[in-house]
Amino acid sequence: MKITSIILGIIVVAALLVVSGALYTVDETKQVIITQFGKPVGDPKTEAGLKFKIPFIQQVNPVDKRILEWDGQPSNMPTKDKLYIAVDLFARWRIVDPLQYFLRLRDERSAQSRLDDILGSETRNAVARHELIELVRTTKGREPLRDASLSEADLDTLGGLVPMSKGRALVEEEIYAAAAPKVEVFGIELTDIRFKRVNYNESVRPKIYDRMISERRQIAERFRSEGNGEAARINGNRERELNRIRSEAYREVEEIRGDADAKATEIYAKAYNQSDESVDFYEFQKTMDMYRTVLDDNSTLIMSTSSEAFEYLKSMNPADGEDSP
Protein backbone atom coordinates (compact mmCIF):
# COMPACT_ATOMS: atom_id res chain seq x y z
CA MET A 1 0.00 0.00 0.00
CA LYS A 2 2.80 2.37 0.88
CA ILE A 3 4.65 1.55 -2.33
CA THR A 4 1.52 2.16 -4.33
CA SER A 5 1.12 5.62 -2.78
CA ILE A 6 4.71 6.50 -3.63
CA ILE A 7 4.31 5.37 -7.21
CA LEU A 8 1.06 7.33 -7.49
CA GLY A 9 2.77 10.43 -6.13
CA ILE A 10 5.58 10.06 -8.65
CA ILE A 11 3.08 9.71 -11.46
CA VAL A 12 1.23 12.85 -10.32
CA VAL A 13 4.43 14.87 -10.08
CA ALA A 14 5.54 13.65 -13.49
CA ALA A 15 2.16 14.54 -14.93
CA LEU A 16 2.37 18.01 -13.45
CA LEU A 17 5.84 18.48 -14.90
CA VAL A 18 4.67 17.31 -18.29
CA VAL A 19 1.64 19.59 -18.21
CA SER A 20 3.64 22.57 -16.98
CA GLY A 21 6.23 21.93 -19.67
CA ALA A 22 3.55 21.71 -22.33
CA LEU A 23 1.69 24.88 -21.36
CA TYR A 24 2.96 28.43 -21.83
CA THR A 25 1.39 31.89 -22.11
CA VAL A 26 1.92 34.55 -24.74
CA ASP A 27 1.90 38.09 -23.30
CA GLU A 28 0.08 40.88 -25.13
CA THR A 29 3.38 42.68 -25.73
CA LYS A 30 5.18 39.57 -26.99
CA GLN A 31 5.21 37.14 -29.86
CA VAL A 32 6.73 33.68 -29.53
CA ILE A 33 8.97 31.50 -31.66
CA ILE A 34 8.97 27.78 -30.79
CA THR A 35 12.29 26.02 -31.36
CA GLN A 36 13.01 22.33 -31.33
CA PHE A 37 16.65 21.42 -30.79
CA GLY A 38 17.53 25.05 -31.59
CA LYS A 39 15.58 25.28 -34.83
CA PRO A 40 12.25 27.11 -35.23
CA VAL A 41 9.20 24.94 -35.76
CA GLY A 42 5.72 26.03 -36.74
CA ASP A 43 4.45 29.53 -37.23
CA PRO A 44 5.18 32.35 -34.77
CA LYS A 45 2.56 32.76 -32.06
CA THR A 46 1.42 36.36 -32.20
CA GLU A 47 -1.92 36.12 -30.38
CA ALA A 48 -1.96 36.49 -26.60
CA GLY A 49 -3.23 33.54 -24.50
CA LEU A 50 -2.45 30.03 -23.28
CA LYS A 51 -0.54 27.85 -25.77
CA PHE A 52 0.76 24.27 -25.96
CA LYS A 53 4.09 22.80 -27.00
CA ILE A 54 5.94 19.50 -26.72
CA PRO A 55 7.39 19.44 -23.24
CA PHE A 56 11.17 19.20 -22.68
CA ILE A 57 11.87 19.14 -26.45
CA GLN A 58 10.52 22.47 -27.61
CA GLN A 59 11.59 25.86 -26.18
CA VAL A 60 9.73 29.17 -26.00
CA ASN A 61 11.55 32.20 -27.42
CA PRO A 62 9.65 35.45 -26.75
CA VAL A 63 10.10 38.36 -29.18
CA ASP A 64 8.87 41.88 -28.41
CA LYS A 65 6.18 43.24 -30.73
CA ARG A 66 6.04 46.77 -29.33
CA ILE A 67 7.62 49.77 -31.01
CA LEU A 68 11.23 49.86 -29.83
CA GLU A 69 13.70 52.72 -29.73
CA TRP A 70 17.12 53.12 -31.22
CA ASP A 71 19.25 55.98 -29.91
CA GLY A 72 22.51 56.43 -31.76
CA GLN A 73 25.68 57.88 -30.33
CA PRO A 74 26.77 61.36 -31.56
CA SER A 75 29.13 60.94 -34.49
CA ASN A 76 31.34 63.44 -36.33
CA MET A 77 30.50 63.71 -40.03
CA PRO A 78 31.62 66.03 -42.85
CA THR A 79 29.00 67.98 -44.78
CA LYS A 80 29.11 68.82 -48.48
CA ASP A 81 30.57 72.25 -47.66
CA LYS A 82 33.43 70.58 -45.71
CA LEU A 83 32.22 71.39 -42.22
CA TYR A 84 32.58 68.71 -39.55
CA ILE A 85 29.49 68.41 -37.41
CA ALA A 86 28.40 66.13 -34.58
CA VAL A 87 25.13 64.42 -35.54
CA ASP A 88 22.92 62.76 -32.93
CA LEU A 89 20.16 60.59 -34.40
CA PHE A 90 17.29 58.52 -33.01
CA ALA A 91 14.84 56.09 -34.61
CA ARG A 92 11.83 53.89 -33.79
CA TRP A 93 11.40 50.32 -35.06
CA ARG A 94 9.44 47.14 -34.47
CA ILE A 95 9.63 43.45 -35.32
CA VAL A 96 7.08 42.55 -38.01
CA ASP A 97 8.53 39.18 -39.08
CA PRO A 98 9.56 37.43 -35.85
CA LEU A 99 10.73 34.26 -37.63
CA GLN A 100 13.08 36.13 -39.94
CA TYR A 101 14.21 38.30 -37.05
CA PHE A 102 14.96 35.22 -34.94
CA LEU A 103 16.85 33.47 -37.73
CA ARG A 104 18.98 36.51 -38.63
CA LEU A 105 19.49 38.31 -35.33
CA ARG A 106 18.21 36.17 -32.44
CA ASP A 107 18.00 38.99 -29.87
CA GLU A 108 17.53 42.73 -29.45
CA ARG A 109 21.19 43.45 -28.73
CA SER A 110 22.15 42.09 -32.16
CA ALA A 111 19.35 44.13 -33.71
CA GLN A 112 20.60 47.33 -32.07
CA SER A 113 24.11 46.64 -33.32
CA ARG A 114 22.91 46.10 -36.88
CA LEU A 115 20.81 49.29 -36.71
CA ASP A 116 23.92 51.15 -35.56
CA ASP A 117 25.73 50.06 -38.71
CA ILE A 118 22.91 50.65 -41.19
CA LEU A 119 21.49 53.91 -39.84
CA GLY A 120 24.93 55.32 -39.09
CA SER A 121 26.11 54.57 -42.63
CA GLU A 122 23.04 56.04 -44.33
CA THR A 123 23.15 59.12 -42.12
CA ARG A 124 26.80 59.69 -43.00
CA ASN A 125 26.02 59.37 -46.72
CA ALA A 126 23.07 61.77 -46.48
CA VAL A 127 25.05 64.38 -44.51
CA ALA A 128 27.92 64.20 -47.02
CA ARG A 129 25.49 64.93 -49.88
CA HIS A 130 24.04 68.08 -48.32
CA GLU A 131 25.32 71.40 -47.06
CA LEU A 132 24.99 72.40 -43.42
CA ILE A 133 22.03 74.73 -44.05
CA GLU A 134 20.00 71.76 -45.32
CA LEU A 135 20.53 69.94 -42.01
CA VAL A 136 19.83 72.93 -39.76
CA ARG A 137 16.69 74.42 -41.27
CA THR A 138 13.53 72.34 -41.11
CA THR A 139 11.91 73.37 -44.38
CA LYS A 140 12.91 75.42 -47.39
CA GLY A 141 9.83 77.66 -47.27
CA ARG A 142 10.60 79.45 -44.01
CA GLU A 143 11.30 83.18 -44.34
CA PRO A 144 13.77 84.88 -41.97
CA LEU A 145 12.60 87.75 -39.79
CA ARG A 146 13.65 91.20 -41.01
CA ASP A 147 14.13 94.40 -39.05
CA ALA A 148 11.49 96.84 -40.26
CA SER A 149 13.95 99.74 -39.94
CA LEU A 150 16.32 98.27 -42.56
CA SER A 151 16.03 99.44 -46.14
CA GLU A 152 16.39 97.28 -49.23
CA ALA A 153 19.97 98.50 -49.65
CA ASP A 154 20.76 97.43 -46.08
CA LEU A 155 19.27 93.99 -46.71
CA ASP A 156 21.33 93.63 -49.88
CA THR A 157 24.48 94.54 -47.94
CA LEU A 158 23.72 92.18 -45.06
CA GLY A 159 22.75 89.35 -47.38
CA GLY A 160 20.29 86.57 -46.58
CA LEU A 161 20.19 82.92 -45.76
CA VAL A 162 22.12 80.53 -47.92
CA PRO A 163 19.83 79.11 -50.64
CA MET A 164 18.52 75.65 -49.87
CA SER A 165 16.62 73.05 -51.86
CA LYS A 166 15.31 70.54 -49.30
CA GLY A 167 15.60 71.10 -45.57
CA ARG A 168 16.12 68.75 -42.64
CA ALA A 169 12.73 67.04 -42.96
CA LEU A 170 13.46 65.84 -46.50
CA VAL A 171 16.97 64.75 -45.51
CA GLU A 172 15.42 62.62 -42.77
CA GLU A 173 13.07 61.12 -45.34
CA GLU A 174 16.07 60.30 -47.55
CA ILE A 175 17.78 58.47 -44.69
CA TYR A 176 14.56 56.60 -43.92
CA ALA A 177 14.04 55.61 -47.57
CA ALA A 178 17.59 54.30 -47.85
CA ALA A 179 17.68 52.45 -44.50
CA ALA A 180 14.18 50.91 -44.42
CA PRO A 181 14.77 48.27 -47.16
CA LYS A 182 18.08 47.26 -45.58
CA VAL A 183 16.56 46.55 -42.16
CA GLU A 184 13.48 44.91 -43.67
CA VAL A 185 15.48 41.78 -44.52
CA PHE A 186 15.94 41.23 -40.78
CA GLY A 187 12.18 41.21 -40.16
CA ILE A 188 12.33 44.79 -38.85
CA GLU A 189 10.10 47.69 -39.86
CA LEU A 190 11.67 51.13 -39.46
CA THR A 191 8.81 53.41 -38.37
CA ASP A 192 10.57 56.76 -37.96
CA ILE A 193 13.97 58.45 -37.90
CA ARG A 194 14.83 61.95 -36.72
CA PHE A 195 17.80 64.20 -36.02
CA LYS A 196 18.06 64.78 -32.29
CA ARG A 197 20.87 67.32 -32.43
CA VAL A 198 23.25 68.81 -34.98
CA ASN A 199 26.22 70.67 -33.58
CA TYR A 200 29.62 71.88 -34.68
CA ASN A 201 32.59 69.65 -34.06
CA GLU A 202 34.63 70.74 -31.04
CA SER A 203 37.73 71.32 -33.18
CA VAL A 204 36.03 73.73 -35.61
CA ARG A 205 33.56 75.36 -33.23
CA PRO A 206 35.95 78.17 -32.10
CA LYS A 207 36.72 79.02 -35.76
CA ILE A 208 33.02 79.15 -36.59
CA TYR A 209 32.33 81.40 -33.62
CA ASP A 210 35.26 83.66 -34.55
CA ARG A 211 33.92 83.99 -38.08
CA MET A 212 30.45 84.81 -36.77
CA ILE A 213 31.91 87.42 -34.42
CA SER A 214 33.95 88.92 -37.28
CA GLU A 215 30.85 89.18 -39.49
CA ARG A 216 28.87 90.83 -36.70
CA ARG A 217 31.70 93.28 -36.10
CA GLN A 218 31.79 94.21 -39.78
CA ILE A 219 28.07 94.89 -39.72
CA ALA A 220 28.44 96.90 -36.50
CA GLU A 221 31.27 98.95 -38.01
CA ARG A 222 29.15 99.68 -41.06
CA PHE A 223 26.28 100.86 -38.89
CA ARG A 224 28.71 102.88 -36.77
CA SER A 225 30.20 104.51 -39.88
CA GLU A 226 26.75 105.35 -41.20
CA GLY A 227 25.86 106.77 -37.79
CA ASN A 228 28.98 108.96 -37.76
CA GLY A 229 28.16 110.20 -41.25
CA GLU A 230 24.61 111.00 -40.21
CA ALA A 231 25.91 112.80 -37.10
CA ALA A 232 28.31 114.87 -39.26
CA ARG A 233 25.44 115.79 -41.59
CA ILE A 234 23.24 116.83 -38.66
CA ASN A 235 26.08 118.88 -37.11
CA GLY A 236 26.74 120.56 -40.47
CA ASN A 237 23.07 121.48 -40.82
CA ARG A 238 23.09 122.77 -37.26
CA GLU A 239 26.16 124.97 -37.88
CA ARG A 240 24.72 126.28 -41.14
CA GLU A 241 21.40 127.10 -39.47
CA LEU A 242 23.20 128.73 -36.53
CA ASN A 243 25.27 130.91 -38.90
CA ARG A 244 22.13 131.87 -40.77
CA ILE A 245 20.40 132.89 -37.54
CA ARG A 246 23.47 134.86 -36.43
CA SER A 247 23.73 136.59 -39.82
CA GLU A 248 20.09 137.58 -39.78
CA ALA A 249 20.39 138.78 -36.19
CA TYR A 250 23.53 140.80 -37.04
CA ARG A 251 21.78 142.34 -40.05
CA GLU A 252 18.79 143.24 -37.92
CA VAL A 253 21.04 144.75 -35.22
CA GLU A 254 22.91 146.80 -37.82
CA GLU A 255 19.63 148.01 -39.33
CA ILE A 256 18.42 149.07 -35.88
CA ARG A 257 21.75 150.71 -35.14
CA GLY A 258 21.68 152.53 -38.50
CA ASP A 259 18.14 153.71 -37.87
CA ALA A 260 19.21 154.90 -34.42
CA ASP A 261 22.24 156.75 -35.81
CA ALA A 262 20.08 158.35 -38.47
CA LYS A 263 17.57 159.38 -35.88
CA ALA A 264 20.35 160.80 -33.65
CA THR A 265 21.87 162.64 -36.60
CA GLU A 266 18.48 164.08 -37.37
CA ILE A 267 18.10 165.22 -33.78
CA TYR A 268 21.61 166.68 -33.80
CA ALA A 269 20.91 168.50 -37.05
CA LYS A 270 17.73 169.95 -35.71
CA ALA A 271 19.53 171.04 -32.56
CA TYR A 272 22.32 172.60 -34.61
CA ASN A 273 19.90 174.61 -36.64
CA GLN A 274 18.28 176.16 -33.56
CA SER A 275 19.33 179.46 -31.88
CA ASP A 276 22.94 180.35 -31.11
CA GLU A 277 22.51 179.40 -27.48
CA SER A 278 21.29 175.97 -28.51
CA VAL A 279 24.22 175.65 -30.88
CA ASP A 280 26.67 176.66 -28.15
CA PHE A 281 25.13 174.15 -25.77
CA TYR A 282 25.28 171.45 -28.44
CA GLU A 283 28.93 172.16 -29.16
CA PHE A 284 29.66 172.18 -25.43
CA GLN A 285 27.85 168.83 -24.97
CA LYS A 286 29.70 167.17 -27.83
CA THR A 287 33.02 168.52 -26.56
CA MET A 288 32.33 167.10 -23.10
CA ASP A 289 31.49 163.74 -24.70
CA MET A 290 34.82 163.89 -26.51
CA TYR A 291 36.66 164.61 -23.23
CA ARG A 292 34.89 161.71 -21.53
CA THR A 293 35.85 159.36 -24.35
CA VAL A 294 39.46 160.43 -24.76
CA LEU A 295 40.59 161.30 -21.25
CA ASP A 296 40.90 159.16 -18.12
CA ASP A 297 42.90 159.38 -14.88
CA ASN A 298 46.19 158.41 -16.54
CA SER A 299 45.78 160.36 -19.78
CA THR A 300 48.18 163.08 -20.91
CA LEU A 301 46.82 165.47 -23.53
CA ILE A 302 48.98 167.91 -25.46
CA MET A 303 47.18 170.46 -27.61
CA SER A 304 47.59 173.97 -28.95
CA THR A 305 45.98 176.87 -27.11
CA SER A 306 44.32 177.81 -30.35
CA SER A 307 42.71 174.38 -30.67
CA GLU A 308 38.94 174.28 -30.64
CA ALA A 309 39.09 171.34 -28.22
CA PHE A 310 41.08 173.52 -25.79
CA GLU A 311 38.57 176.35 -25.83
CA TYR A 312 36.36 175.10 -22.98
CA LEU A 313 39.35 174.00 -20.88
CA LYS A 314 40.88 177.42 -21.23
CA SER A 315 37.61 179.11 -20.25
CA MET A 316 37.47 176.95 -17.10
CA ASN A 317 40.97 178.09 -15.92
CA PRO A 318 40.80 181.31 -13.75
CA ALA A 319 44.47 181.99 -14.33
CA ASP A 320 43.78 182.96 -17.90
CA GLY A 321 41.91 186.02 -16.72
CA GLU A 322 38.79 185.00 -18.53
CA ASP A 323 35.42 184.46 -17.05
CA SER A 324 34.35 180.94 -16.32
CA PRO A 325 31.12 179.83 -17.94
| Cα–Cα distance measured from residue 136 to residue 114, given in angstroms and rounded to the nearest whole number | 27
In this prediction, residue 212 carries a pLDDT of: 77
In this prediction, residue 4 carries a pLDDT of: 75
| Cα–Cα distance measured from residue 162 to residue 156, given in angstroms and rounded to the nearest whole number | 13
Are the beta carbons of 26 and 63 closer than 8 angstroms? no
- For 34, 78, 128, 136, 210, the CA distances from 204, given in Å and listed in that order, are 54, 11, 17, 17, 10
Give the sign of the dihedral formed by CA 134, CA 136, CA 139, CA 145. negative
SS3 72: coil
Look at the pTM and tell me if it is higher than 0.85.
no
Give the sign of the dihedral formed by CA 224, CA 230, CA 232, CA 238. negative
Q: Quick one: which H or E segment has residue 20?
A: helix 2-22
Phi and psi for 40 in degrees, rounded to 5? -65, 140
Burial status of residue 126 (CB atoms within 10 A of its CB: 0-12, 13-18, 19 or more) = buried
Question: Residue 102 is which amino acid?
Answer: F
How many other β-carbons are positioned within 10 Å of the β-carbon of residue 9? 10
Residue ranges per domain, the chain? 2-64, 68-201, 204-273, 286-325
In this prediction, residue 323 carries a pLDDT of: 44
In this prediction, residue 275 carries a pLDDT of: 53
Are the beta carbons of 75 and 87 closer than 8 angstroms? yes
In this prediction, residue 320 carries a pLDDT of: 47
Residues 130-146: tens digit of each pLDDT: 888 888 877 666 565 66
| Cα–Cα distance measured from residue 70 to residue 74, given in angstroms and rounded to the nearest whole number | 13
| Cα–Cα distance measured from residue 22 to residue 60, given in angstroms and rounded to the nearest whole number | 10
In this prediction, residue 23 carries a pLDDT of: 77
In this prediction, residue 119 carries a pLDDT of: 93
Give the sign of the dihedral formed by CA 277, CA 279, CA 284, CA 288. positive
For the chain, list residues with pLDDT below 70: 1-2, 12-21, 139-164, 271-282, 305, 307-325
In this prediction, residue 110 carries a pLDDT of: 92
Give the sign of the dihedral formed by CA 287, CA 292, CA 294, CA 298. positive
| Cα three-residue angle 314-316-322, rounded to 5 degrees | 70
In this prediction, residue 321 carries a pLDDT of: 45
In this prediction, residue 68 carries a pLDDT of: 92
| Cα–Cα distance measured from residue 131 to residue 273, given in angstroms and rounded to the nearest whole number | 104
Are the beta carbons of 99 and 115 closer than 8 angstroms? no
Q: What fold, for 68-201?
A: Tetrahydropterin Synthase; Chain A (3.30.479)
| Cα–Cα distance measured from residue 18 to residue 33, given in angstroms and rounded to the nearest whole number | 20
In this prediction, residue 219 carries a pLDDT of: 81
- Nearest Cα to Cα of residue 168 among 194, 144, 192, 145: 194
Name the packing angle between helices 108-129 and 168-184 (round to 10°).
Answer: 140
